[in-house]
Structure formats: structure tokens, C-alpha cells
Amino acid sequence: MDNVKIYNVDDSEWIASKLNKKETIEWYNEEFSEYREDEALEDESLYDGMWFNKHLTDRECDIIKWFTNDDYYNDGKFMVEDDEVWEFVTYKFVIEYFGYDKNDDTEPFIIATENFI
């Protein structure tokens, strides 16, 4: 896991990368046809977190929805919104979930974003 870093771009996107900061910003600029300086990236801790919902089973979601019994619920660990259940997990958890720390792929990826399509 020491080879993976999390970079924050303008407080709106978070990148998991095995590249250094300069190579990561070059990848970002090429991938998204934008131009950002190296200073646009800020290092984040692998133990900071994000809302994630891919790992929860249907049964776990049903139990959480039943327990919260509300259209919107957020206790800091679980959030229910628009009938979807989210859990607040660390970036490290998500990287391990997708196996990025174990594979040979060096291409960075957007691990979290506030820019919805």
C-alpha cells in the first residue's frame, strides 16, 4: 500500500495513483483535457475517507434502511438517501476493495468525485 497515494484536485476530485505528483497531474491534464499545475494536487491520507456503497449486500442495505426508517439518514458512518445506502470508509478500504494496491496497473483513477455527470 506504500506505493499508492491519494491526491485531491481542487477539493472536488480525489485520485488514487502509483505515480508521483508530477506524473499524476500530467495524467489528469491529458485524461480530462484540462490544465492544472502541480500545486493543484494536495496529498491526502489513505485513512481519510469517502462515502461508498459497492460492498454492501442487499440484505445489509435492507437492515440499515429498516433501522433508519427515514428517507434521509446520516449518522456519520451510514447514510441513506434516495433509497440508497452508503457507508463512510477509508480510501485504503476502497483501494483494497478494487485490488489496485495488488495489481501491476500504474494508471491512476478517480477514486471519489463531487462532479456528477
Range of the domain at 30: 5-113
The answer to whether 19 touches 106, Cβ cutoff 8 Å, is yes
pLDDT tens by residue, 69-92: 777 788 888 888 877 888 999 999
Average pLDDT, the chain: 84
- Count up the domains in the chain and report the number: 1
- Phi and psi based region of residue 103 (left: phi greater than 0; alpha: psi -120 to 50; beta: remaining): beta
Q: How far is CA 64 from CA 21, 71, 81, 94, 97, in A?
A: 39, 12, 12, 20, 21
Q: Pick from 10, 13, 9: which is nearest to 114 by CA?
A: 13
For range 30-45, the mean pLDDT: 75
Dist. CA 84–CA 79, nearest whole Å? 8
C-alpha cell at position 31:
485524461
Q: Which three cell numbers stand for residue 30?
A: 491529458
pLDDT of residue 56: 84
Query: What are the cell numbers at 27?
Result: 495524467
